[in-house]
Amino acid sequence: GAGVSQSPRYKVAKRGQDVALRCDPISGHVSLFWYQQALGQGPEFLTYFQNEAQLDKSGLPSDRFFAERPEGSVSTLKIQRTQQEDSAVYLCASVRLAGGAGELFFGEGSRLTVL
Amino acid sequence: TQLLEQSPQFLSIQEGENLTVYCNSSSVFSSLQWYRQEPGEGPVLLVTVVTGGEVKKLKRLTFQFGDARKDSSLHITAAQTGDTGLYLCAGGYNKLIFGAGTRLAVHP
């Protein structure tokens, strides 16, 4: 498709389980961002890739969160030993050029519920 | 740390009314973006404002960037039910920081 694709759309995990969320950006887009959006809040920055390089991971809340984009295209956000406070919508966005100054194209998000 | 504060947090109005929502910061931004998000969807870009004092119009939506490039406003004229959604402002240099948003509900 032409847009950003995220999977799964919905994920229910038991506390302590590991989860992996996938993002397929728009083909050719250089930059990729992950955001976490809690209910009723704006998106909170997690991490940023330029091609395969992770240039900023300052927003990752703990060392349980890990993101990769090994070939500069598809990205995976992994959360280990999930906790209830990890419940949120995880949004992925891609940008045509380097940096975040251009238009962000968002996917529909992956809604994670940790029981 | 750059922060963006949006107000009001919630707004519930009748169709046909006018409204203004605000985005404020103590930091200077090279540009600010406005996004609209509907339930179950990702945010979609409405406009980018770049120049201090700039005014941009998108049909019934008017966006203004403050002279000092620290604040912005969005004015909607004659709101319609289709305007319902979460309005987010965002700014930053290498990564976009979002405000908490204004949740707008327009009732028929």
Judged against a pLDDT cut of 80, whether residue B94 lies above it is answered with no
Percent of chain B with pLDDT over 70: 98
pLDDT tier, B106 (very low <50, low <70, confident <90, very high otherwise): very high
CB A48 to CB B94 under 8 A? yes
* Residue B92: band (very low, low, confident or very high) from pLDDT cuts 50, 70, 90: confident
Best mutation target among A10, A45, A60 (most B Cβ atoms within 10 Å) is A45
Q: Is the pLDDT of residue A81 over 90?
A: yes
CB pairs under 8 A between A and B: 60
Percent of chain B at pLDDT > 90 equals 90
Q: Yes or no: is domain A5-106 CATH 3.40.50.300?
A: no
Give, in order, the Cα–Cα distances in Å from A101 to each of A89, B21, B73.
23, 23, 19
How far is the C-alpha of A59 from the C-alpha of B89, rounded, in Å?
19
pLDDT of residue A77: 98
Residue A45 confidence (pLDDT):
95
Q: Is A108 helix (H, G, I), strand (E, B) or coil?
A: coil
For residue A1, pLDDT beyond 60: no
Which residues of A have a CB under 8 Å from any CB of B?
4, 33, 35, 40-45, 48, 55-56, 91, 93, 99-101, 103-104, 106-109
The verdict on a CB contact (< 8 Å) between B95 and A103 is no
Q: What is the pLDDT of residue B64?
A: 97
Question: B22 CB contacts (<8 Å, ≥6 apart)?
Answer: B6, B7, B71, B72, B73
Check CB contact under 8 Å for A41 and B41.
no
pLDDT for B98: 95
Over residues A64-92, mean pLDDT: 97
Average pLDDT over residues A43-69: 96
pLDDT band at residue B13 using 50, 70 and 90 as cut-offs: very high
- pLDDT-derived band at B1 (thresholds 50, 70, 90) equals low
What's the start-to-end Cα distance of chain A, in Å?
A: 33
Assigned fold of B5-102: Immunoglobulin-like (2.60.40)
Residues 6+ apart with CB under 8 A from B102: B6, B7, B8, B9, B10, B11, B21, B86, B87
Rounded mean pLDDT of chain A? 94
